[in-house]
Amino acid sequence: MQMDIAVLSEIGGRSANEDACGHWSGPQMSFAVVADGAGGHHGGPIASRLAVNQVLTSLRARRECSASAVEAAMKAANEAVVRAQKAQSRYADMRTTIVVLALDSQSARASWGHLGDSRLYCFRDAHIVAQTRDHSVVQTMVDAGYLEPQQMRSSPDRSKLLSALGDEDQFAPAVERGNVAIQSGDKFLLCTDGLWEYVQESEMEQTLGECGSAEKWLQALKGYVTKRAKRRHDNYTAVAVWCK
C-alpha cells in the first residue's frame, strides 16, 4: 500500500501563521502531524513547531504504529513545550493543539491521537467512519445535550479549549487504543479548527468523490474557507493522507 500525502497551510486573515504540520514516510511507516499554537509574545508558532518536530523525531526513532508509540510521541512533545515555557518567562502561556497519525502500510494498520480541537477524520468509500472528539467547551456542551452539533461552529465559546500541549500536570491525550485496520482507498484528514470551522463534514465527503488526488482535495477544501471566512479569520492547516 502506498500513501499519497498533501499539505495545506495558510495564514488566513492573521498577521502570522501559528499552525505547523509535517509528515514522514519510510518503506513501511508513514507519520503525519498537525498543530495549532497559541500564546503571547509569538509563543504560538514556537509551541506548534516544537510539537511537530518532537512528534516526528520520536516516531521516526521508534518506527512503530501503535497507541503506545503515538502517546509517547505526544508526551515527548508536551515535555518539549513545557521546557520551552520554563526557559523563557515570556513563553510561559504558550500552548498548542496536536493531532497525530501513524500508518503501517505493510500490515495495513493505523493509530492516532490528539489533544485540543485539531481533528482527524477517516473516510472510507467517501464517508466518515471515524472522527476525533474535541477537547473543548462546545464539545462538552454537545455531549451534554445543551448544544446541537451543527451549532458548534458558530458558538461564542467555540475557541475555548479544555486541554492542549503545554500543561505539565494534566497531560491526558486521547489515543486510539486498538490499531485500526485500513484498506486501499481509505483517506485521512488532519486539520486545525481554522479549516473545519468553514467546511461541513458532508462537504468533505462530497469533494472526495470529485477529486483525483490528495492535493486537489485540499485545494477544494481551501475553496470553501476562502469563500466563507471572515476578514480576519484564523490560520488553517491540513494534511491529507490517501491510502492506495
| Cβ burial, residue 124 (10 Å; 0-12/13-18/19+) | middle
Helix axes 214-228, 201-208, angle to 10 degrees: 140
C-alpha cell at 4: 499519497
Please give the chain's pLDDT, 244 residues, in tens.
Answer: 899 999 999 999 999 999 999 999 999 999 999 999 998 778 999 999 999 999 999 999 999 999 999 999 999 999 999 999 999 999 999 999 999 999 999 999 999 999 999 999 999 999 999 999 999 999 999 999 999 988 999 899 988 999 999 998 889 999 998 789 999 999 999 999 999 999 999 999 999 989 999 999 999 999 999 999 988 999 999 999 999 9
Element housing 114 (H / E): strand 109-115
Domains and CATH numbers, the chain: 3-243 (3.60.40.10)
Tell how far CA 9 is from the center of its chain.
Answer: 12
CA dist., res. 88 & res. 144, Å (int):
39
The DSSP secondary-structure symbol of 22 reads E
Q: What is the pTM of this model?
A: 0.96
Contact status, residue 65 vs residue 102, Cβ threshold 8 Å: yes
